[in-house]
Amino acid sequence: MSKIFKIVLGLGILVLLFGSYFIGKYNTMVTKDEGVKTAWSQVENQYQRRADLVPNLVNTVKGFAAQERETLEAVVSARASATQTKVDINDAASFAQFQSSQGELSSALSRLMVVVEAYPDLKSNQNFLELQAQLEGTENRISVARKNYNETVRPYNIYVRSFPNNMLAGMFGFGKAELFEATEGAETAPEVSFE
């Protein structure tokens, strides 16, 4: 064999090896990215489930506690804000805005549940009890979906930010995904008063 043929063959093998290496890295990034998107869709599904429960819950409470109009309006307003907020999981500001609007809805629902305590007839209403149980279950599902999302995002972020993957990720637009964090003040237990 001629010397030129050996050089061309050697270069061809090197190109093939490097190509296979980068194709494998790219495919792994695609797989991890799709895992993050799937986990995120589960978070959105649970938030949507909660948003869908809110109108029924508000209407049930409204029948018993019409004078609590301000609280009911706050819940409706927070729901509207939460459902209109668009999020890009790769944009910290967008993600923070989404998390904030969902936190406002959680806070408004908590205030609504405090108001309900003043209405014994409402607390014994079967429709309300079913909605309350569904809301509690949904809050648990949201918590689990957020945990699963964070567990999916962490290895993805490590992978796309590690060298030399970060160069390939940058070339093909694989950005760091945002993690859910505890809302401000979540570390402080709420004050309970039995007066």
CATH number, domain containing residue 78? 1.20.120
Query: What range defines the domain where residue 37 resides?
Result: 33-172
**Residue 102 within a domain:** yes
Q: How far apart are CA 37 and CA 34, in angstroms?
A: 5
Q: What is the mean pLDDT of residues 19-30?
A: 93
Q: What is the mean pLDDT of residues 156-178?
A: 93
User: Looking at the predicted structure, is the pLDDT value of residue 194 above 90?
Assistant: no
Report the pLDDT value the prediction gives residue 67, as an integer from 0 to 100.
Answer: 64
Question: pLDDT tens digit string along 105-117?
Answer: 888 888 888 877 7
Instruction: Using only the alpha carbons of the chain, give its radius of gyration.
Output: 25
DSSP string, 62-120: HHH-GGGHHHHHHHHHHHHHHHH----TT-HHHHHHHHHHHHHHHHHHHHHHHHHTT-H
**Residue 168 within a domain:** yes
User: Looking at the predicted structure, is the pLDDT value of residue 29 above 50?
Assistant: yes
Report the pLDDT value the prediction gives residue 59, as an integer from 0 to 100.
Answer: 82
Domain count, the chain: 1
**Residue 17 within a domain:** no
**Residue 122 within a domain:** yes
Whole-number Cα distances in Å, 121 to 18, 48, 61, 65, 172: 72, 29, 10, 10, 59
**Residue 23 within a domain:** no
**Residue 107 within a domain:** yes
User: Looking at the predicted structure, is the pLDDT value of residue 195 above 50?
Assistant: no
Question: Quick one: how far is CA 14 from the chain centroid?
Answer: 43
Q: What is the mean pLDDT of residues 136-141?
A: 91
Q: How far apart are CA 134 and CA 88, in angstroms?
A: 28
**Residue 3 within a domain:** no
